[in-house]
Amino acid sequence: MTISRRLKVVLYNPRSVFWTMPLGLIAVGSALPRDRFDVVIVDGRYERDPVGAVLSILDDNTLCVGMGVLTGAPIRDALTVARAIQRARPNLPIVWGGWHPSLFAEQCVQDASLVAAVIGQGEETFSEILDRLSQNASLTGVAGCAHRSGADVIVEQARPFRDVNAFPAADYSLIGVERYFASKQRRQLDYISSQGCRFRCEFCADPFVYQRNWSGLAPERMGEELSALYRKHAFTDINFQDETFFTHGKRAAAIAEQILGRGLRVTWAATMRADQGVRLDEAALALCRRSGLRRAMVGVESGSQRMIDWMKKDVTLDQVFATAERLRQHGIGGLFPFIVGFPDEPPESVHATIDVIKRLRMMSPLFEVVVYFYQPYPGSPIADLAWSRGYAQPPSLEAWADFDYVGARGPWVTDATWSLVQRFKFYQQHAFGRHAHPLHAPLRWAARWRVNGDRYRWPVEQFLMRVARPETRLS
């Protein structure tokens, strides 16, 4: 009787400054049959020598190395590790998946170290790629991927979007959960309850990748999974990493009932569109709060209704403030992202955004904002407009590795606008909210004075703070 041995599949998570659990790698690893594959996840953020860590576990039984790659600095680490693997084991296939390969699959596969890139949902595509590799068969016809065929790159047809309930539960035993708790400095579990987004925001990559599809796990299944994870890992907070958690209000309420009914003593945070917040039943919102909802992330994007309509956000500022008021009344925190620096955005739009941010920050000490300058991703008219206005799209993976989605701006953004926004971001952060340390009081007073009067010249406090506490580069 012949006993077939399991093939090893190594999944690598490139270095970054965030400590979110590698949920994409967990998902594709969990979807592989364990009787055929031995899945090993290596997280470069925990390795002094990522290259050495990966090379040390490769052996003759290793079928493939997969990597989940985000745009920016993680590309550089992924390339370094991939090229080291290629030199050490030139016949070992390397496959990339994640957001960047989903957007730039052809460019990724043009790199000699890769054999394929997965586009969009990876559970079935990666599994089929492994089946082909295990048989030394061509990848031709594998939907949802790009691959090389001789000197050419072939982009296969898109794989149909699947209901996430068809996929197995995420197997968190593939990672060391406790070390992520330690890095986060809280027992926070990252969890994805849905994939995709049905909306059409023209600044976002999601409609391009998922074609405006959305699918969510059944609340009963989530209750079972979270309850089992709670018993095993004793987490105190859940960070739902969904694009739009509150897509269906009744589903959100049913999830809250599962958390309460199963005795999970946790807090949780999730995403919520402003129009969803307005439509959410009052009893459902109260139920979510009782179950531990501590914060909702509500994308506003602009303080100008004209700009909101232009980017096809399909919400109104009235809905934003109505949702914010409902959160305030229930004692729920809010995180409100904004984007400035769109091509052709008039100066008055930037000032309107600043005014809306100040109004939101004054509503509750539990409210926070983040402000980004627009960076174009493909698949939307705004990106095409940005490139036509002189934004140089990075021409290579190495150039994308230098892409800074926090500290960069389009060439149409004036120095005056850049300085205004950067200074306002600093001072609003310190002017509002809860600051327990008594030494913060003078900075808070100065920041309030500046923000209330729009006085941003000579930002001495900002300079001193950055000398004392340099900012972390996020990409």
Determine whether 110 is exposed, middle or buried from the number of CB atoms within 10 Å of its CB (0-12, 13-18, 19+): middle
Q: Are residues 49 and 183 in the same domain?
A: no
Q: Are residues 280 and 131 in the same domain?
A: no
**In the listed set 155, 179, 199, which residue is the last one of a domain according to the structure?**
155
pLDDT digits (tens, 9 = 90+) for 417-443: 999 999 999 999 999 977 666 767 889
Distance from C-alpha of 81 to C-alpha of 50, rounded to nearest angstrom: 7
At 33, which CATH number? Answer: 3.40.50.2300
Check residue 159 and give its pLDDT.
Answer: 97
* Residue 473: inside a domain: no
- The more confidently predicted of residues 116 and 392 is 116
Check residue 167 and give its pLDDT.
Answer: 98
- Total domains present in the chain: 2
**Residues in Cβ contact with 53 at an 8 Å cutoff, skipping those fewer than 6 apart:** 42, 44, 47
CA distances from 420 to 225, 367, 426, 428 (A): 47, 22, 10, 12
Q: By residue range, what is the domain housing residue 270?
A: 164-468
pLDDT digits (tens, 9 = 90+) for 213-263: 999 999 999 999 999 999 999 999 999 999 999 999 999 999 999 999 999
**In the listed set 130, 155, 180, which residue is the last one of a domain according to the structure?**
155
Q: Are residues 22 and 168 in the same domain?
A: no
Share above pLDDT 90 across residues of the chain, in percent, rounded to a whole number: 82
The Cβ of residue 470 has, within 10 Å, a number of other Cβ atoms equal to: 8
Q: Are residues 216 and 325 in the same domain?
A: yes
pLDDT digits (tens, 9 = 90+) for 258-306: 999 999 999 999 999 999 999 999 999 999 999 999 999 999 999 999 9
Q: Are residues 132 and 281 in the same domain?
A: no
Q: Are residues 236 and 103 in the same domain?
A: no
**If you average pLDDT over each of 199-203, 297-301, 411-415, which comes out highest?**
297-301
* Residue 2: inside a domain: no
pTM for this entry: 0.93
Q: Are residues 126 and 220 in the same domain?
A: no
Q: Are residues 234 and 107 in the same domain?
A: no
Q: Are residues 314 and 186 in the same domain?
A: yes
Q: Are residues 75 and 171 in the same domain?
A: no
**In the listed set 155, 182, 202, which residue is the last one of a domain according to the structure?**
155
Distance from C-alpha of 109 to C-alpha of 130, rounded to nearest angstrom: 17
Residue 22, token pair as written in the block: 């590698």
Q: Are residues 169 and 140 in the same domain?
A: no
| pLDDT higher than 50, residue 187 | yes
* Residue 141: inside a domain: yes
pLDDT, averaged across the chain: 93
* Residue 475: inside a domain: no
Check residue 1 and give its pLDDT.
Answer: 37
pLDDT band for 28, please (50, 70, 90 cuts): very high
CA distances from 176 to 54, 179, 180, 384, 391 (A): 16, 6, 7, 42, 41
